[in-house]
Amino acid sequence: MVALARRLVRCPSLLGSLCALLAGCGSTDEGAGGPSVVSTVPSDGEVDVDSELGSLSVTFSESMGDGWSWVTETGHSAPEVKGFAFYVDEVTNVLPVQLAPHTSYAIWVNSPDHAELRKFANPEGVSARAYRIQFETR
């Protein structure tokens, strides 16, 4: 690892390329410079969520169009959806759900893998960057 670091320091263009590559890891190019998630309920990583919480919500950095994509993740529990998602204002979308106690959940706001599941977009059609929410109920 030290040898690689020494080579990178000697070759700034390689270092720049590696930094650009690493900056893109774990995200999609879709939505770059567009809307982003400002907050969610529950918050990502929250471990003491009330199982009686009746909805999930996401708030974006700018006004959004009418579409939405709450996306499940294979191999992880997803909340039971109890109705259609809806916007309470121009930036906040709500998904009615039923949660079970003592359960770990994962759900995505837009898909990291499938462009057709990136319907959270601004009125100009620029999709929000995919965002994963993982949480546990008490």
Average pLDDT over residues 102-128: 98
What's the one-letter identity of residue 105? Y
Confidence of residue 83 (pLDDT cuts 50, 70, 90): very high
**Lowest-confidence segment of 11-20, 24-33, 55-64 by average pLDDT:** 11-20
What percent of the residues of the chain are helix, what percent strand, and what percent coil, each to the nearest 5? 15, 30, 50
Confidence of residue 84 (pLDDT cuts 50, 70, 90): very high
State both tokens at 1.
Answer: 């690892």
**What predicted TM-score, i.e. pTM, was given to this entire model?**
0.77
State both tokens at 123.
Answer: 């009125």
Contact assessment for residue 81 and residue 95, using Cβ atoms and an 8 Å cutoff:
yes
Count the residues in the chain. 138
Angle (nearest 5°) at CA 134 between 53 and 128: 100
The reported pLDDT for the residue numbered 33 is 85
Domain ranges of the chain: 1-30, 31-136
User: 31-136 is classed in which CATH architecture?
Assistant: Sandwich (2.60)
The reported pLDDT for the residue numbered 6 is 36
